[in-house]
């Protein structure tokens, strides 16, 4: 019984299980905890807790019958798979100084994992390590229990993330290794806790003693606080943990529902998308359609054009003066429509040039102009903006290239070729622009400026997805991705800046060294790569962007870009992460190179554009 649906929520976070003691009558365990109490699964021990391999008497053939939790036949394979998570024996200590205990632990772990695999269990919960050394475990509590929280030699608090990271590194970031966070009544700092957002956390274990009663919380907590006391009659048959389940469900359903934008983006979360080649390739109808659905983006564009028209044409000339507006890279016409709506809104007259290189999109443009009756207003030009010779100069110049990144989709090169169209006193949209490596739309102006932003992130899922390809090229490719399961480790910083029209003979090549200082209260963290964003001022106070601190709400045309690292870098609290980024230009392609130089050095990624580049 899921905890409850919130709008558009189809994630696994809706499910709640219960930890049980050893019982070889698994049908009864499921009936009591699932059918009667309403839990979705049980975490059940796979062996009798009294079992030790060294204590088992072997028969004449040298083997022993292992005391597993009954036969696998007591449940169907689908029941084992769907409703049971195996709990590995808690006494295991694979780093014990006691050789018998260590050998017993190794043998038992192999036996229990083998049995779990035989049962087709989806997961097993391993115990936390007994000391500070790395042991076999997958469940990492946020704060270790009091009796294990201090290192006997140093008397310092053990950072459980460090234990998880040590184990994860020895397992080479295995994609099947995940974390269950044990939520106790003491939590670390917010920054320290936030590190786990980028890890492969699969579950949270809620201890019942952290739910307190009181007038300030939901009245069910009073029931929760009393569940262990006297019960009589029918109440005695009620599952003692059902009030806790009810309360957790209540809290879950009280969470804000996902906004429309998040519901739209659910299927894109942490999904690596191959970069598009906007100049080399012609976009398909489905790609155009996806971005044309972003109402907020075109509302902002329309607002910007409206303000530009009002500034360009005074009221007394509105009925006679015609403004020349060029949409360079018109696609299927959304910016043409937004510009004409702005003209109607302000009562100004427009003459529009819609310039588009994709012959398939030009077909759609012609159909749109005919359908809307724009034949006397809109002139369609089937040409690459870099090659077209405009018959007149533009008062307002707007461009949209539906790409995947920002200036690495060759915005500077396109603007270099198109800025000759604009009058010296003309207006462009945006008037200034701060872009990420994944800015889909480009606009340009006589004074246009755009800058990249980068941010180090922990993103174990993205790293493992790249790693699964088992080659160098994928680690040297930048991906469009709706980053969700990630920890943002430091505020984003600007990288490259471009200005148009640019100073004479200025190259589009760039180099920048960035220094990110890790917060002192975060603890150690793993950097799997870098996220890129953009921010733009379209015109005056009309804003557009995805940089986290200034992001435009309810806009889904842009996802971030992700630059992976071949080998993740571990950073300590208060340390400085030094990153180098290059934008490189050749006669036929543009590419990025990146590397980390502190606290440890990484190889230079994508040297000479060997793996990832954008064709001119």
Sign of the CA dihedral with 288 first, then 9, 193, and 272 last:
negative
Task: Report whether 48 belongs to an annotated binding site.
Answer: no
Task: Report whether 163 belongs to an annotated binding site.
Answer: no
Element (H, E) at 473: helix 472-475
Query: What average pLDDT score do residues 134-151 get?
Result: 42
| Count of other CB atoms within 10 angstroms of residue 317 | 12
Kindly report the average pLDDT of the chain as a whole number.
81
47/571: higher pLDDT: 571
Task: Report whether 147 belongs to an annotated binding site.
Answer: no
58/366: higher pLDDT: 366
Contacts 24+ apart (CB under 8 A), 26-30: 26/69, 26/70, 26/74, 26/75, 26/84, 27/74, 27/75, 30/75, 30/79, 30/83, 30/84
pTM for this one?
0.81
Residue 577, helix vs strand vs coil:
strand
Q: How confident is the model at residue 439 (pLDDT cuts 50, 70, 90)?
A: very low
Place of tokens 């980068």: 454
Residue 490 contacts residue 517 (beta carbons within 8 Å): yes
Residue 143 contacts residue 188 (beta carbons within 8 Å): yes
Task: Report whether 317 belongs to an annotated binding site.
Answer: no
Given a cut of 70, is residue 255 above it in pLDDT? yes
Active site includes 97?
Answer: no
Of 590, 586, 500, 486, residue with least CA distance to 528: 486
Q: Which range has highest mean pLDDT (72-81, 172-181, 199-208, 304-313)?
A: 304-313
- Rounded distance, CA 616 to CA 410, Å? 8
Given a cut of 60, is residue 110 above it in pLDDT? yes
Output the six-digit token pair for 279. Answer: 């100049």
The strand pair at 322-328 and 201-206 is best described as unpaired
Residue 450 contacts residue 421 (beta carbons within 8 Å): no
Cα 209 to Cα 13, 147, 183, 231: the distances in Å are 21, 17, 10, 19
Cα 418 to Cα 121, 123, 386: the distances in Å are 60, 57, 6
Place of tokens 């509590």: 141
Q: What is the pLDDT of residues 352-372, one digit of tens each?
A: 999 999 999 999 999 999 999
Residue 23, helix vs strand vs coil:
coil
- Rounded distance, CA 129 to CA 466, Å? 30
Active site includes 400?
Answer: yes
Given a cut of 50, is residue 567 above it in pLDDT? yes
Task: Report whether 540 belongs to an annotated binding site.
Answer: no
- Rounded distance, CA 247 to CA 553, Å? 32
Element (H, E) at 304: helix 295-312
Burial of residue 604, with CB atoms counted within 10 A of its CB: 0-12 exposed, 13-18 middle, 19 or more buried? middle
The alpha-carbon radius of gyration of the chain (Å, integer) is: 30
- Rounded distance, CA 165 to CA 172, Å? 10
Given a cut of 60, is residue 7 above it in pLDDT? no
Q: Which range has highest mean pLDDT (180-184, 254-258, 607-611)?
A: 607-611
**From the centroid of its chain, how far is CA 589?**
29
Q: How confident is the model at residue 134 (pLDDT cuts 50, 70, 90)?
A: low
Three-state SS string over 82-137 comes to HHEEEECCCCCCCCCCCHHHHHHHHHHHHHHHHHHHHCCCCCEECCCCCCCCCCCC
**The predicted structure's pLDDT at residue 148:** 42
Which has the minimum average pLDDT: 82-91, 144-153, 430-439, 488-497?
144-153
Of 428, 378, 424, residue with least CA distance to 400: 428
Which has the minimum average pLDDT: 471-475, 524-528, 557-561?
557-561
- Rounded distance, CA 487 to CA 179, Å? 15
Residue-by-residue DSSP string for 180-198: EEEE-S----HHHHHGGGG
What's the angle, vertex CA 383, arms to CA 380 and CA 387, rounded to 5? 135
**The predicted structure's pLDDT at residue 355:** 92
Of 562, 557, 277, residue with least CA distance to 409: 277
Q: Which of 190, 284, 289, 400 is catalytic?
A: 400
Q: In what order do the strands lie in the sheet with 614-615?
A: 510-517, 576-585, 589-598, 614-615
Which has the minimum average pLDDT: 197-211, 402-416, 564-578?
402-416
Question: Cis (ω within 30 of 0) for the bond into 501?
Answer: yes
Q: What letter would DSSP give residue 157? A: B
- Rounded distance, CA 269 to CA 262, Å? 9
Residue 50: CB partners within 8 Å, gap ≥ 6?
Answer: none
Query: What average pLDDT score do residues 199-204 get?
Result: 88
Burial of residue 470, with CB atoms counted within 10 A of its CB: 0-12 exposed, 13-18 middle, 19 or more buried? exposed
**The predicted structure's pLDDT at residue 279:** 77
| Count of other CB atoms within 10 angstroms of residue 454 | 25
Contacts 24+ apart (CB under 8 A), 360-367: 360/282, 360/285, 361/282, 361/283, 361/288, 361/330, 361/331, 361/332, 364/285, 364/332, 364/333, 365/330, 365/332, 365/333, 365/336
Given a cut of 90, is residue 243 above it in pLDDT? no
**The predicted structure's pLDDT at residue 67:** 55
Output the six-digit token pair for 369. Answer: 């102009």
Query: What average pLDDT score do residues 317-329 get?
Result: 93
Angle between helices 334-346 and 295-312 (to 10 degrees): 50
In 518-559, beta strands by DSSP E: 525-533, 535-539, 542-545
Q: What is the pLDDT of residues 490-524, one digit of tens each?
A: 999 999 877 765 666 788 899 999 999 999 988 89
Query: What average pLDDT score do residues 309-322 get?
Result: 94
Output the six-digit token pair for 324. Answer: 């020349």
**The predicted structure's pLDDT at residue 58:** 62
Query: What average pLDDT score do residues 573-590 get?
Result: 94
Q: Which of 99, 112, 284, 409 is catalytic?
A: 409
The strand pair at 560-571 and 525-533 is best described as antiparallel
Task: Report whether 356 belongs to an annotated binding site.
Answer: yes
């Amino acid at each position: 019984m899921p905890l409850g649906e919130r709008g558009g929520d189809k994630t696994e976070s809706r499910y709640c299980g219960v930890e049980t003691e050893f019982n070889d009558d698994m049908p009864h365990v499921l009936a009591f905890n699932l059918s009667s109490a309403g839990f979705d699964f049980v975490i059940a021990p796979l062996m009798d807790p009294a079992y030790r391999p060294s204590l088992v008497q072997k028969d004449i053939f040298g083997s022993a019958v292992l005391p597993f939790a009954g036969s696998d036949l007591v449940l169907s394979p689908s029941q084992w798979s769907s409703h049971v998570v195996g709990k590995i024996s808690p006494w295991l200590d694979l780093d014990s100084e006691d050789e018998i205990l260590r050998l017993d632990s190794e043998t038992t772990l192999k036996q229990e994992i083998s049995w779990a695999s035989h049962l087709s269990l989806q997961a097993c919960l391993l115990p936390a390590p007994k000391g500070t050394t790395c042991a076999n475990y997958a469940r990492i509590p946020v704060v270790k229990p009091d009796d294990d929280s201090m290192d006997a030699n140093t008397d310092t608090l053990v950072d459980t993330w460090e234990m998880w990271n040590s184990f994860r590194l020895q397992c080479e970031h295995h994609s099947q290794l995940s974390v269950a966070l044990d939520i106790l009544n003491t939590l670390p700092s917010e920054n320290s806790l936030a590190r786990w957002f980028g890890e492969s956390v699969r579950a949270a274990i809620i201890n019942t003693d952290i739910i307190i009663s009181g007038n300030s919380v939901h009245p069910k907590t009073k029931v929760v606080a009393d569940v262990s006391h006297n019960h009589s009659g029918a109440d005695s048959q009620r599952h003692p943990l059902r009030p806790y389940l009810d309360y957790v469900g209540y809290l879950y359903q009280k969470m804000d529902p996902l906004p429309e934008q998040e519901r739209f983006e659910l299927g894109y979360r942490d999904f690596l998308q191959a970069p598009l080649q906007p100049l080399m390739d012609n976009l398909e109808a489905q790609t155009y359609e996806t971005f044309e659905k972003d109402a907020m983006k075109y509302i902002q564009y329309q607002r910007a054009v409206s303000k530009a028209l009002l500034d360009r044409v005074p009221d007394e000339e509105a009925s006679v003066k015609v403004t020349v507006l060029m949409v360079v890279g018109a696609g299927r016409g959304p910016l043409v429509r937004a510009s004409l709506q702005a003209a109607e809104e302000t009562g100004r007259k427009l003459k529009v040039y819609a310039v588009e290189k994709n012959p398939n999109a030009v077909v759609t443009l012609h159909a749109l102009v005919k359908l809307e009756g724009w034949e006397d207003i809109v002139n369609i030009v089937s040409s690459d903006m870099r090659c077209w010779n405009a018959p007149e100069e533009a008062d307002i110049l707007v461009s949209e290239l539906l790409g995947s990144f920002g200036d690495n989709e060759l915005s500077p090169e396109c603007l270099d070729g198109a800025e000759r169209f604009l009058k010296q006193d003309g207006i462009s949209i945006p008037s200034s622009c701060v872009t990420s490596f994944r800015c889909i739309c480009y606009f340009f102006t006589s004074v246009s400026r755009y800058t990249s932003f980068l941010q180090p992130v922990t993103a174990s899922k993205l790293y493992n997805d790249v790693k699964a390809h088992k080659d160098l090229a994928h680690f040297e490719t930048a991906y469009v991705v709706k980053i969700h399961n990630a920890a943002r480790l430091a505020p984003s910083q600007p990288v490259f800046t471009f200005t148009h029209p640019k100073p004479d003979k200025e190259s589009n090549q760039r180099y920048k060294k960035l220094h990110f200082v890790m917060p002192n209260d975060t603890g150690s963290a793993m950097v799997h790569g870098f996220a890129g964003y953009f921010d733009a001022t379209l015109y005056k106070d009309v804003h557009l962007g995805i940089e986290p601190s200034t992001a435009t709400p309810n806009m889904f045309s842009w996802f971030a870009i992700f630059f992976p690292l071949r080998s993740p870098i571990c950073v300590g609290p208060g340390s400085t992460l030094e990153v180098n980024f290059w934008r490189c230009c050749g006669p036929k392609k543009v590419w990025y190179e990146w590397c980390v130089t502190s606290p440890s050095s990484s190889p230079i990624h994508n040297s000479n554009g060997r793996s990832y580049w954008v064709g001119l």
